[in-house]
Amino acid sequence: METLTHSQIFNSWRQSGDTTTQAAQWKRLRSLVRNGELIVVGHDSYLWAGDTDLRSYFPKLSAIASQVLSEMAEQYGRMNYTLFELSWLNDFLNHLLGRNALFVMVERDYAPFVFEFLRERHCGGVLLDPSLDDFFRYVNDCVLFVVKKPSQGPVNRLMPHVAPPEQWLADILADVRISGSFEEAELSQIFSAFGKRYVVNKSALLRYARRRGVDERVRNLLKGGVA
């Protein structure tokens, strides 16, 4: 499968008579990705959906996740943070996880401020970077968990504050609060099921996994799972 850069796509449009501005072409490209007609397979690397059975991954956000995104946009719109929900993993497991948890992943210095901000709006049902024991002690009472994230990581350009798979596929290994929510044997099932349906930028995933200290585990799971 031959991938295309944005320049190649834009040039093909121009050759077909498109005289719109580059900004308009970028808007058109993003719309094609959002609609599933164009698949992002890496940095500035695209495939037409008709050329592959794989798709770009866009998680279904819960009501609380959408609410938090809206709240954070008003107060911390320019901050580097991402959201991840345990419920996303239900799409790749044979059984449903019994509870959801929303992780608001924020750079270390800002985590206390985000914690106080969200706690005021969610009646105290928020924990700041809980220990493993505290996470499982309170997970049935709390929905939101503000946790510290590395300063650099993969970016979801269409949904910049929603964790892309290149991030969360490593996080589910690196963060014991997430990995403790399912059986160790289910990790290969998640990677395999994801790889049969969606594309992932392996280079970006492995770079982030290296920062999280799980690159070898990710590499081994990629060999048996993600195409």
pLDDT 10s per residue in the chain (227 long)?
678 899 999 999 999 999 999 999 999 998 898 887 888 877 788 888 888 778 888 899 999 999 999 999 999 988 989 999 999 999 998 877 778 899 999 988 999 999 999 999 987 789 999 999 999 888 877 689 999 987 788 888 778 899 999 999 999 999 999 998 888 888 889 999 998 899 888 888 999 999 999 999 999 998 874 53
In a domain, 56, yes or no: no
Query: Does residue 102 sit in the same domain as residue 32?
Result: no
Residues 184 and 41 sit within 8 Å (Cβ to Cβ): no
Query: How far is residue 175's CA from residue 77's CA, in Å, rounded to a whole number?
Result: 25
Query: Does residue 16 sit in the same domain as residue 122?
Result: no
Query: Does residue 100 sit in the same domain as residue 33?
Result: no
C-beta contacts of 214-218 below 8 A and 24+ residues apart: 214/170, 214/173, 214/174, 217/173, 218/169, 218/170, 218/173
In a domain, 150, yes or no: yes
Query: Does residue 113 sit in the same domain as residue 134?
Result: yes
Pairing of the two strands 81-85 and 102-107: antiparallel
Query: Does residue 78 sit in the same domain as residue 165?
Result: yes
pLDDT at 227: 38
Query: How many domains are contained in the chain?
Result: 2
Query: Does residue 158 sit in the same domain as residue 81?
Result: yes
Q: Is the pTM of this model over 0.75?
A: yes
In a domain, 1, yes or no: no
Give the domain range for residue 91: 63-224
| Tokens standing for residue 171 | 């996080």
Using CB atoms within 10 Å of the CB of residue 63, give its burial: 0 to 12 exposed, 13 to 18 middle, 19+ buried. Answer: exposed
Query: Does residue 37 sit in the same domain as residue 83?
Result: no
| Tokens standing for residue 136 | 């499982």
